[in-house]
Amino acid sequence: MLNFNWLTDVSLDTARWIFLTLFIITGIIVLLIPQKYIYEGIKEIRIWHNLKLWTIVLLTFYFLIYYNF
């Protein structure tokens, strides 16, 4: 079995901020994806085809939930 007893020394606030920082890093990595990969193979470009937009919206939603709770 996995032993996570070493995590008992990490406070909940620290764990929350580590997790939120990972959300922010994920958002930055998504923003670094070249635009040509986002719309590759799409004939008509629409705003809802932009995966960066969807990812940032969802990450913001998750960030706010984890920040508040």
Evaluate whether 20 touches 66 at the Cβ level (below 8 Å).
yes
**Residue 51 has what pLDDT?**
84
pTM for the full predicted model: 0.71
Please give the mean pLDDT across all residues of the chain. Answer: 88
**Residue 1 has what pLDDT?**
66
Whole-Å CA distances, 6 to 11, 15, 16, 51, 55: 12, 13, 17, 38, 33
In the DSSP assignment, the letter for residue 39 is: T
Evaluate whether 30 touches 54 at the Cβ level (below 8 Å).
no
Measured distance CA(56)–CA(2) in Å, rounded: 33
Lowest mean pLDDT segment, chosen from 10-14, 42-46, 54-58? 42-46
